[in-house]
Structures are given as C-alpha cells and as structure tokens.
Structure 1
Amino acid sequence: MSSPRRLRDLIARGGPPLMLPGAPNALTARVVEEAGYEAVYVSGAGVTNTFLGAPDLGLLTLNELADHVRAIADAVALPAIVDADTGFGNAINVQRTVRVLERAGAAGLQLEDQVSPKKCGHFSGKDVVSADEMVGKVRAAVDARTDDDFAIVARTDALATEGLEQAVDRIGRYRDAGADILFVEAPRSADQMRHIVRSVPGVHMANMVEGGLTPLTSRDELGDIGYAVALYANAAMRGAVAGMREVLDHLAEHGDTTRASELMISWQDRQSLVRKPDYDELERRYAAEANTPGADGSEQDGDVA
C-alpha cells in the first residue's frame, strides 16, 4: 500500500483523531516511529529552527525542505505530511512544490494562505492573500499530484486578520477547490473550534501549540468536537531542547557526564535507534557475497576457454 493511501486509511478509520507528532529531522522521525505513532508531520518551523537556527519566518527553501523529507522517508515507514508553507511562490510554483515533495516521499503537503514571507501561525503581524489566490493554489496542487491519494492540506490564517466567519468561508472554498484536510489556524476557544467544524463539513485538523493561542485540548475532546487529526508540530523538538540543556548544565556543573547517564539514552539504545544492527547485517551479507567464489563473475572451476 502506498504511503498516501495508508495516510488516508488512518484518517478515515474513525475513532479518536489521528495523532500527528512533528519531526524536524530523520532522527526525530525514528523516535516518533519507535514510540508507536502511525504518521508524522514534517514541520517547517521545526526544520527552520533545527537546520537554520532561525525562527519560522519563511526562510527555508524548497530544496532544503525536500532534502529533509527524503531523509525522513528513507529512515521511517510512516506516512508524512509536509508543511510547505505558502507553496514557495504562486500557483505555478505550487505545482512544482507538489511534484518535488511527492517524489521525495511525502504522503501529503500543507499549504497556507499567508502572504510570503509567511510567519508562524501563532505570531502577530500575519497577513493573508486573497481567497481567490489561495483557491488557485489549491487547484494547482490537486492538478499537480500524480497519486490521487496524495493529501492536500489547506490552512487559513484568516481568523487573526479577518475574523472567524471569513476564516470559515475561506476553508469551505478551499475544500470545494479540492483540499482533502482543512486547517483553520489559531482558534482562540473551544467554541470557535466547534463552530469551524460544524460550519464546514470535512476532515479537520487541529494544531496544539504549547504556549500558543489555541487552548490545549485532549485527543478525546478534539474527537468530540469533530477533529480527525491532532497535530503536535514541535512538541518533540522542544522536549529534546529541554533535555539537551539539562545534560549541558550537568556537564558545566560537574565537568563530566559520568553521573548524567540517566539524562540520556544509553550507547546501545542510540545504536539501536539508528538501526546499526541492520547495517551490520548488511555489511556481513555483502562482505560474504563478495568473498564467495565466483561472486566477481569468474569461473569457479576449470580454465576459461
């Protein structure tokens, strides 16, 4: 089964919302998979933070993002939704973005209706393009995908700039243009979240941002409201930074890490996480084949005529 098909089946099965942790790199994606999650989100903010050491202000390029998607797709079997920000340009650029990320191994991508360069959805000072322009981008994305199961997530940031009803109107238009998953960013209350889901039938995604504008809501509560996908875009990354700081503080205080073993994974756990035993087995297999008589194509017995 293709990765886009598996993603669609996970969303369509009903029950509690699909939990979608974010991963800014392949190692984090390995941890997400190891923890038993069924899909992963490649966060534009997370990649920008970890790769560039910069804030989520539209600084990442398509090629940089695609490199991370390829690495993640090679490292894990999880279907990945990729945050493609504003699509890296106009509708024509969006088509190229879809083709590049689909070939890189994504199961779907997210587009948003902010002006470029965009800002994090929970930053102030955002602005949005016209609804007509975003409709064109969604249509372009739908037309560009080669696999009809490749998911198009349409996000609007209009709630902050135009109000709730305009955001609802926009997300309905994006659905009608072919978007598979609907994402209204940064609702301020559970009542707003309910209004969004009830006003526009479809598959909705909620973004849970610790310290952001939307109230943190449990998975079960999100399901009761009507959400099908619960996004935790940068929770793992932020937890990792907290862990790094703790280890480094310990090193600065004690001058060594001998008493910090409980703060980090073991050597064996680290090698297991990155699949070193699998690579060791491949090395043994191919070394054995290389040493097998005749493996180089020569005759094993007798002289060559």
Structure 2
Amino acid sequence: MKKTSLKSALASGKFVAAPGLHDMIAAVVANTFDLPFAYASGYWTTASAHGLPDAGIATYSEMLDRVTTLCRVSNAAIIADADTGYGGLLNVHHTVRGYEQAGVVAIQIEDQEFPKKCGHTPYRRVVPAIDMVEKIKVACEARSSDETLIIARTDARQSEGFEGAVKRGLAYAEAGADVVFLESLESTEEMREACRRITAPMMANMADGGRTPILSARELEEIGYAMAIYPSMTGLAAAQAVQTAMAAFVEHGTSQTPAQPLFDFSEFNQLIGFPEVWEFERRWARDRSAG
C-alpha cells in the first residue's frame, strides 16, 4: 500500500504526530486506527527485539531487519531512528540507502559519539559539529528520493547547554537537514525559543519519563513545532499491562481475572492475518480432495 508522504504533510503545514511502535503486536493493533505516521525508536526497538539497553549495542543489520519488518507490517509511514548512522561517513551512506530501501519516509541521525546512549539518560557525548554537518550532507546525497527526509538530532543540550544546542541546530539546517531535532530540552521556554530561532521544521520528542515536558500535539504546534514523536507510549503501556497481568496471575493463579482485561483472541487472529491462512487451507484442501 502507498504510505503517506511526510514531505507533503510538512509542506502543507499540518502538524505531524507519530506514536512509537515498539513491536509488531503494537503495529497490528495500531493499524485499526488508520494512523498516517508512526515512529521506530532505537530505544524501544532494541528493548523489544533484544532485551538490551539503548547504548549502541544493537548493530545496523539488527536494526535494519527490525525496521524493514515494521515497514511491512504497519500501514503507517515509518519515521526511523538510525542512531549515529552506525559509524563514519561511509556507514551513514550505507545506512540511508538501507533504511530507504526498507521503506521509511524519514531517517533520524544524531551527533553523539559512538557508542550512543538514550537521549534522556546521562553520559552522552557529542562529536564536533563539523563531523555531524558532513554526516548530514552525506545522508542527503545518499538518498534516492527527496521524499525520504533526513532528520538531524543534536544531543548537545547536556554538554554544551541550550545555546550550544541551538547553534548546532542552525548549522544542521544549513547543511541540508529537512527537520531539526534538539533532544532533551528542559522547559517549554527552551522549546519555544528553539522554534523561534531555527526556521527549519522542528521535531519534538515526547519521551514519557524523560527530561522534556510532555505536551499535547496542539500545544506543540502552538509553540512552533512541525512534528512530534511519542516513542515510549506503546512500550511503556505494554510493560505496565504485563506487570499488571503477572501480579494478577501470581495472586489468583489464573489469566482470567477482573484486574486484567485481555485483548479478544478472535479479534487478534483477524488482525494478525489468520483468515487469509484459513482461506488458503480451505482452498487447497478442496483441490486435493477433488484430485
């Protein structure tokens, strides 16, 4: 199916809100809501696929495999976290080509040193701004279609302060980034000022439990953002549901308790595609019996 164009959505001035999809169960459930965009988070992809922290441990190949699967399963157009581009300039070129072929509509690259760390955890270090500028230029040149957008993220707020982060954002926009992303801003005042000073489309990260205030899409649009990601939502919701279910199971010794509603099994069979399997089996069972 044809996915929604992020480039066209931003050009139209329509605010883009993309919830994170941490695994394929979240993706098939989200398909029932006809979302135009969704986000593939490095943190939650690594956690759900490998049970590991977002600390540069997962490889490019592992992440590409997960992103490719998500693009196939989800009806939404996928905005994908590509960490640092998984290395130097040649790696960035290879990453952009691979993610674009996977089917994403935007590729997010950050200016952290390798191995990177989650943007809302400590001990992040950034590369020199000129190194990231070169990565952005390589990323823009590597893409086959200008429908594939490059999102440039800076993690400099922690080490270089707000002014340092804004300075990098301006440089990244000048280098050709389609969208600029200042990670871990710490107040609505900083968010508003960043949007005032950087004229490129700005993306906000609404990471539940992180350092940035969580605002609604309407509030973010009013501040001046063009788009926002909500990367933690389905992952944290799923973790809470599992914790609640396990607590009820330990207490009652059964999965069937009023304390934990379960998704309807028959409905999930429909979402995951079993009707097509059953129809295939009915067809071929008839053909075999006729022969």
TM-score tier by shorter-chain length is over 0.9
Distance 2:287 2:103 in 1: 31
Amino acid at match of 1:11: L
Q: Provide closer, same or farther for how the CA distance between residues 283 and 151 of structure 1 changes in structure 2, counting only shifts above 3 A.
A: farther
2:108 aligned residue: 110
Q: Provide closer, same or farther for how the CA distance between residues 103 and 283 of structure 1 changes in structure 2, counting only shifts above 3 A.
A: farther
Distance 1:283 1:75 in 2: 22
1:296 aligned residue: none
Q: Does 1:176 align with 2:179?
A: no
1:138 aligned residue: 136
Q: Deviations over 1:162-202 (max 9, x none)?
A: 11122111111111211111100011111100111110101
Distance 2:139 2:287 in 1: 46
Q: How does 1:171-210 map to 2 (within 5 A)?
A: 171-210=169-208
Q: Provide closer, same or farther for how the CA distance between residues 110 and 285 of structure 1 changes in structure 2, counting only shifts above 3 A.
A: farther
Q: State the TM-score, normalized to the length of structure 2.
A: 0.93
Amino acid at match of 2:10: I
Distance 2:289 2:227 in 1: 51
User: For 2:5, what is the secondary structure of its paired residue?
Assistant: helix
Q: Provide closer, same or farther for how the CA distance between residues 290 and 257 of structure 1 changes in structure 2, counting only shifts above 3 A.
A: same
Q: How does 1:37-52 map to 2 (within 5 A)?
A: 37-52=35-50
Q: How does 1:1-305 map to 2 (within 5 A)?
A: 3=3, 6-15=5-14, 17-259=15-257, 263-284=261-282
Deviation of 1:257 (Å): 1.6
Distance 1:103 1:290 in 2: 39
Q: Among the aligned pairs, what percent are the same residue?
A: 36
Distance 1:205 1:60 in 2: 24
Tell me the number of residue pairs that the alignment of Structure 1 and Structure 2 aligns.
291
Distance 1:123 1:274 in 2: 35
Deviation of 1:43 (Å): 0.6
Deviation of 1:236 (Å): 0.7
Distance 2:192 2:41 in 1: 25
CA contact (8 A) 1:21 1:32 kept: no
Distance 1:2 1:12 in 2: 19
Amino acid at match of 1:163: G
Distance 1:260 1:277 in 2: 30
Q: Provide closer, same or farther for how the CA distance between residues 277 and 136 of structure 1 changes in structure 2, counting only shifts above 3 A.
A: same
Distance 1:144 1:191 in 2: 36
Q: Deviations over 1:141-177 (max 9, x none)?
A: 1111111210111000111111112211111111121
Amino acid at match of 2:164: Q
Deviation of 1:25 (Å): 2.1
CA contact (8 A) 1:243 1:263 kept: no
Q: Provide closer, same or farther for how the CA distance between residues 191 and 55 of structure 1 changes in structure 2, counting only shifts above 3 A.
A: same
Distance 1:210 1:278 in 2: 37
CA contact (8 A) 1:247 1:260 kept: no
Structure 2 portions without partners, runs of 5+:
none
Deviation of 1:98 (Å): 0.7
Deviation of 1:65 (Å): 0.7
1:301 aligned residue: none
Distance 2:232 2:88 in 1: 27
Q: Provide closer, same or farther for how the CA distance between residues 206 and 290 of structure 1 changes in structure 2, counting only shifts above 3 A.
A: farther
Q: Provide closer, same or farther for how the CA distance between residues 87 and 250 of structure 1 changes in structure 2, counting only shifts above 3 A.
A: same
Q: Provide closer, same or farther for how the CA distance between residues 287 and 146 of structure 1 changes in structure 2, counting only shifts above 3 A.
A: farther
Distance 2:188 2:69 in 1: 37
Q: Deviations over 1:82-132 (max 9, x none)?
A: 101001001111000111111122222100000010111111111100110
Structure 1 portions without partners, runs of 5+:
294-305
Amino acid at match of 1:14: G
Q: State the TM-score, normalized to the length of structure 1.
A: 0.89
